[in-house]
Amino acid sequence: NEMNVQWYPGHMTKARREMEADVRIVDMVIELLDARAPMASGNPEIRRLGQGKERVIVLNKSDLADAATTAAWIRCFQAEGAHCIAMDARGSGNRKLLMRTIEAAAAAKRERDKKRGILNRPVRAMVAGIPNVGKSTLINMLSGRSSAKTGNKPGVTRGNQWIRFQQSIELLDTPGILWPKFEDPAIGEKIAFLGSVNEMIVDKTELAVTLLAFLETNGKLEGAKERYQLKGTETAAEMLTEIARLRGCLMAGGEPDTEKAAGIVINEFRSGALGRISLEEPEGEAHGTQNTEG
Ligand code: G4P
């Protein structure tokens, strides 16, 4: 059941060039990862580009992930020396915690500046992550502006404005967009489950079948079994047919509309209706293994 997720290198090249330019002018990179799959949603490129910069890792969408697993990931990243917190960027409830974490990460830089006689220089930060991980939401939360993506509005200048907050922290208002790594099909799959891949390049039915098979294999099918009244003995393809019947997704001839059912399964997984499901566990293993830069 291996899906082959494709991507557009041209897209990636442009995003990477912009990211490289931005990262040069900041002291700190706030790396957004999806709490449900911190490895798959990370891009080793960002570590290479951000070398020598302070590193803050935000495990976002933690409201959709298993809480204990997220706590284990936090310990894991902290052991690596990164500042790491989990959050739901849609609410302002975590704003203070995030500010405090950014300030703590900035402290080392301020100290270095002080030793070199540089006073009151703001610490500059940028947000980076793969598509759909919540970058805009997080920037909006920090800047206190509405959820509108101002950059897409006519008449509003987009990009490279500094949002100033806290004890002289300056945040770049445009996030760095990183393309996910697809070389490993298992990574591409998870990224597709999370919705960070353009829907146009992934077959919906295939994605839903792969997702159901993944949940089954990893003992995470409980929520789906309950919600869709599955026996759990079916193949993933059979599950989808049953879900189509249950939800009344029928085609003209009365045949189950599995594509429509696939859309339901994917949306319900992404919204958390199938439970708070983490796709990756740290399991005490060194989780930098996906790094290619050594
Ligand atoms: P991006 O800039 O990294 O591409 O991501 P963006 O902020 O646009 O967020 C992508 C989607 O994820 C948005 O939903 C956003 O509301 C949602 N989101 C962001 N942070 C969190 C979080 O911590 N938890 C949950 N559950 N969702 C989060 P959308 O449906 O695409 O848009 P909208 O309907 O919310 O406007």
Burial profile 202-229: b = 16 or more Cβ within 10 angstroms, e = fewer = bebbbbbbbbbbbbbeeebbebbeeebe
CA–CA distance, 280 with 34 (Å, rounded to integer): 10
Cα distance between residue 235 and residue 217, in whole Å: 11
Please work out whether the CB of residue 63 comes within 6 Å of at least one atom of ligand 1: yes
Tell me the pLDDT band of 161, cut-offs 50, 70 and 90: confident
Say which range, 29-33, 117-121, 197-201, has the weakest mean pLDDT: 197-201
Phi, psi for residue 261 in degrees, rounded to 5: -60, -35
Contact 159, 151 (CB under 8 A): yes
- Distance between CA atoms of 180 and 186, rounded to whole angstroms? 12
**pLDDT value at residue 151:** 43
Query: Is it the case that residue 147 has pLDDT exceeding 70?
Result: no
Asked whether residue 22 carries a pLDDT value surpassing 60, the answer given is yes
For 68-108, write each residue's pLDDT tens digit.
999 999 999 999 889 999 999 998 888 999 999 999 999 98
Quick one: which atom of ligand 1 is closest to the CA of 138?
7
User: Which segment of 54-63, 112-121, 182-191 scores lowest on mean pLDDT?
Assistant: 182-191
Q: What single string gives the DSSP state of each residue in 120-148?
A: SPPEEEEEEESTTSSHHHHHHHHHT--SS
Q: Is 94 in the pocket of ligand 1 (CB under 6 A)?
A: no
SS3 245: helix
pLDDT at 200 over 80: no
Mean pLDDT to the nearest integer, 119-133: 91
Share of the chain above pLDDT 90, in %: 58
Confidence check: pLDDT of 10 > 80: no
Handedness of CA 63, 69, 73, 79 (dihedral sign): positive
Residue 152: is its pLDDT beyond 70? no
pLDDT at 15 over 60: yes
pLDDT at 149 over 70: no
Question: 181 CA distance to ligand 1 centroid (A)?
Answer: 20
Instruction: Indicate which residue's Cα is closest to atom 19 of ligand 1.
Output: 134
Task: State the Cα–Cα distance between residues 85 and 130, nearest whole angstrom.
Answer: 18
Strands, E assignment, the chain: 28-34, 54-60, 83-87, 123-129, 162-165, 169-172, 176-177
CA of 147 to the centre of ligand 1 (A): 10
Query: Residue 121 CB: number of other CB atoms within 10 A?
Result: 14
Q: pLDDT averaged over the chain?
A: 86
At residue 34 the predicted structure's pLDDT band, cuts being 50, 70 and 90, is: very high
